Amino acid sequence: MDRVHTFALLLEVLRTGLYPALLCLAIGTDLARRIIPNLLVLALIAGFALVAVLTPLTDVSLRLMAAGAVTAAGFVLFSHDLIGAGDAKLAGALALWLDPAQVPAFVIICSLIGALLTLAVTLKTHGRLLPRARALVARTGETIPYGVALAGAGLLLHPYSSVMLAS
Can you give the residue range of the structural domain that contains 82?
3-165
Q: From CA 88, how far away is CA 37, in angstroms rounded?
A: 12
DSSP 10-23: HHHHIIIIIHHHHH
pTM of the entire structure?
Answer: 0.86
What pLDDT does residue 70 have? 97
Compute the distance between CA of residue 113 and CA of residue 146 in angstroms, rounded to an integer.
9
**Which of 167, 162, 158, 136 has the alpha carbon at shortest distance from 28?**
136
pLDDT score at 130:
56
**CA nearest to 32, candidates 136, 163, 142:** 136
What per-residue confidence (pLDDT) applies to 128?
A: 59
Spacing of C-alpha 69 from chain mean position: 15
- Which pLDDT tens digits describe the chain residue by residue (167 residues)? 687 788 788 888 888 899 999 999 999 999 999 999 999 999 999 999 999 998 888 999 999 999 999 999 999 999 999 899 999 999 999 999 999 999 999 999 999 999 998 888 777 766 655 565 555 555 545 678 999 999 999 999 999 998 887 65
Q: What is the pLDDT of residue 67?
A: 98
Q: What was the pLDDT predicted at 3?
A: 78
Helices first, then strands: H and E counts in the chain:
9, 0
Find out whether 149 and 114 touch, Cβ atoms under 8 Å. yes
- Note the pLDDT of residue 144: 85
Q: Count structural domains, the chain.
A: 1
Predicted confidence at residue 87, as pLDDT, reads 97
Q: Identify the three-state secondary structure at position 82.
A: coil
